Structure 1
Amino acid sequence: MSQATSQSGRQAALQQAVSTIKNGQFIETLTRRVAFASESQNPSASDELMKYLTDEIQPTLVKLGFECEIFANPMASCPPLLIAKRIEDESLPTLLTYGHGDVTNGQAELWQEGTHPWELSQIGEKIFGRGTADNKGQHTINLLALESVLNAREGKLGYNVKILFEMSEEVGSKGLELFCHEQKESLKADLFLASDGPRLNAQTPTIFLGSRGVCQFRLRCETGNGVRHSGNWGGVITNPVTRLQHALSSLTTADGRITAECLRAPLPSGLTAEMMRELTVGGYAGDPTLNDQWGEKELTAGERLFGCNTLEVIALGAGDIQKPIGAIPDVAEAVCHLRIVPGTDWHNLVANLSAFLEEKGLGDVKVIFEGGYSATRLDPTHPWVGFVKRSMETSLEQTVTVLPNLGGTIPNHCFADVLALPTVWMPHSYPSCKQHAPDEHLLESVVEQGLLAAAGLLWDLGEHWPE
Structure 2
Amino acid sequence: MTGEQAVALATAYFDSGEFKRVLARRVAIRSESQQKGSREALARYLDEEIAPAMRAMGFTLRGLDNPQADAPPFLLATRIEDPALPTVLCYGHGDVVFGDDENWREGLSPWQLTEEGDRWYGRGSADNKGQHSVNIAALEQIFIARGNRLNFNCKFLFEMGEEISSPGLAQLCREQRALLSADIFLASDGPRADAHQPTLFLGSRGAVNVRLSIDARERDYHSGNWGGLLSNPGVQLANALASLVSPHGQLLVSALKPPAIGADVRAILSEIDLYESEDGPHIDVQWGEPGLTPVERLYGWNTFEVLSLIAGNPAQPMNAIPGSATAVCQLRFVVGTDWENIAHHLRTHLDAQGFQQVDVGVLRGSPATRLNPKDPLVSWALNVMRNASGKKPVLLPNLGGSLPNDVFAHILDLPTLWVPHSYPACGQHAVDEHMLKSIAREGLQIMTRLFWELGEQGDALIEQHRRFRQQTGGAA
Match of 2:258 in 1: 265
CA contact (8 A) 1:41 1:171 kept: yes
**CA shift for structure 1 position 423:** 0.6
Match of 1:420 in 2: 413
Residue number among 316, 324, 329 corresponding to 2:322 in the alignment: 329
**CA shift for structure 1 position 321:** 2.3
Match of 2:281 in 1: 288
Query: C-alpha separation between the residues in 2 aligned to 1:348 and 1:102?
Result: 32
Match of 1:313 in 2: 306
Query: C-alpha separation between the residues in 1 aligned to 2:36 and 2:340?
Result: 29
Query: C-alpha separation between the residues in 2 aligned to 1:282 and 1:397?
Result: 20
CA contact (8 A) 1:278 1:302 kept: no
Report 1:69-148 matches (<5 A). Answer: 69-148=62-141
Match of 1:356 in 2: 349
Matched to 1:273, the amino acid is R
Matched, 1:253 2:207: no
Match of 1:397 in 2: 390
**CA shift for structure 1 position 191:** 0.5
**CA shift for structure 1 position 278:** 2.1
Query: C-alpha separation between the residues in 2 aligned to 1:92 and 1:137?
Result: 29
Q: Which moved more, 1:83-92 or 1:260-269?
A: 260-269
Write out per-residue CA displacement over residues 133-184 of structure 1, whole angstroms, 9 at most, x where no aligned residue.
Answer: 0000000001011101110110111110001111111111111111110110
Give the match's secondary structure for 1:332. Answer: strand
**CA shift for structure 1 position 420:** 0.7
Match of 1:179 in 2: 172
Q: Count residues in correspondence.
A: 460
Structure 1 unmatched runs, 5+: 1-5
Give the match's secondary structure for 2:279. Answer: coil
Query: C-alpha separation between the residues in 1 aligned to 2:108 and 2:255?
Result: 45
Query: C-alpha separation between the residues in 2 aligned to 1:172 and 1:148?
Result: 32
Query: C-alpha separation between the residues in 1 aligned to 2:391 and 2:409?
Result: 28
Q: Which moved more, 1:214-223 or 1:50-59?
A: 50-59
Residue number among 167, 189, 194 corresponding to 2:182 in the alignment: 189
Residue number among 297, 314, 330 corresponding to 1:304 in the alignment: 297
Matched, 1:442 2:435: yes
Give the match's secondary structure for 2:197. Answer: coil
**CA shift for structure 1 position 20:** 3.1
What TM-score, normalized by structure 1, do the two folds share?
0.96
**CA shift for structure 1 position 392:** 1.1
Write out per-residue CA displacement over residues 19-58 of structure 1, whole angstroms, 9 at most, x where no aligned residue.
Answer: 2332221111111111111111112212211221122211
Write out per-residue CA displacement over residues 260-315 of structure 1, whole angstroms, 9 at most, x where no aligned residue.
Answer: 11321113112011111221113233232112211113111111100000011112
Match of 2:195 in 1: 202
Give the match's secondary structure for 1:464. Answer: helix
Matched to 1:181, the amino acid is R
Query: C-alpha separation between the residues in 2 aligned to 1:20 and 1:429?
Result: 20
Give the match's secondary structure for 1:14. Answer: helix
Write out per-residue CA displacement over residues 53-100 of structure 1, whole angstroms, 9 at most, x where no aligned residue.
Answer: 122211211111111111111111211111110000111110001001
Runs of 4+ aligned structure 1 residues displaced above 3 Å come to none
Write out per-residue CA displacement over residues 227-254 of structure 1, whole angstroms, 9 at most, x where no aligned residue.
Answer: 2111112222221101110111010110
Q: Which moved more, 1:357-366 or 1:245-254?
A: 357-366
Residue number among 42, 45, 53 corresponding to 1:49 in the alignment: 42
Query: C-alpha separation between the residues in 2 aligned to 1:46 and 1:134?
Result: 19
Say if 1:12 and 1:317 are closer, same or farther in 2 by CA, change over 3 A.
same
**CA shift for structure 1 position 332:** 1.3
What TM-score, normalized by structure 2, do the two folds share?
0.95
Matched, 1:409 2:402: yes
Residue number among 10, 18, 21 corresponding to 1:17 in the alignment: 10
Give the match's secondary structure for 2:78. Answer: strand
Matched to 2:219, the amino acid is G
Matched to 1:202, the amino acid is A
Matched to 1:116, the amino acid is S
CA contact (8 A) 2:139 2:150 kept: no
Residue number among 367, 370, 376 corresponding to 1:374 in the alignment: 367
Query: C-alpha separation between the residues in 2 aligned to 1:225 and 1:97?
Result: 51
Match of 1:338 in 2: 331
CA contact (8 A) 1:282 1:288 kept: no
**CA shift for structure 1 position 109:** 1.0
Give the match's secondary structure for 2:276. Answer: coil
Structure 2 unmatched runs, 5+: 465-476
Query: C-alpha separation between the residues in 2 aligned to 1:342 and 1:198?
Result: 20
Residue number among 430, 439, 452 corresponding to 2:423 in the alignment: 430
RMSD: 1.2
Match of 2:473 in 1: none
**CA shift for structure 1 position 11:** 2.6
Give the match's secondary structure for 2:14. Answer: helix
Query: C-alpha separation between the residues in 2 aligned to 1:171 and 1:262?
Result: 29
Match of 2:158 in 1: 165
Matched to 1:441, the amino acid is H
Residue number among 26, 31, 35 corresponding to 2:28 in the alignment: 35
Match of 1:3 in 2: none
Query: C-alpha separation between the residues in 1 aligned to 2:231 and 2:32?
Result: 41
Matched to 1:253, the amino acid is S
CA contact (8 A) 2:126 2:435 kept: yes
Query: C-alpha separation between the residues in 2 aligned to 1:228 and 1:45?
Result: 43
Query: C-alpha separation between the residues in 1 aligned to 2:324 and 2:9?
Result: 59
Residue number among 454, 460, 467 corresponding to 2:453 in the alignment: 460
Matched, 1:150 2:143: yes
Matched to 2:349, the amino acid is F
Matched to 1:418, the amino acid is I
CA contact (8 A) 1:194 1:425 kept: yes
Query: C-alpha separation between the residues in 2 aligned to 1:358 and 1:133?
Result: 44
Identity of aligned residues (%): 45
**CA shift for structure 1 position 441:** 0.3
Query: C-alpha separation between the residues in 2 aligned to 1:337 and 1:222?
Result: 21
Give the match's secondary structure for 1:313. Answer: strand
CA contact (8 A) 1:318 1:331 kept: yes
Matched to 1:224, the amino acid is R
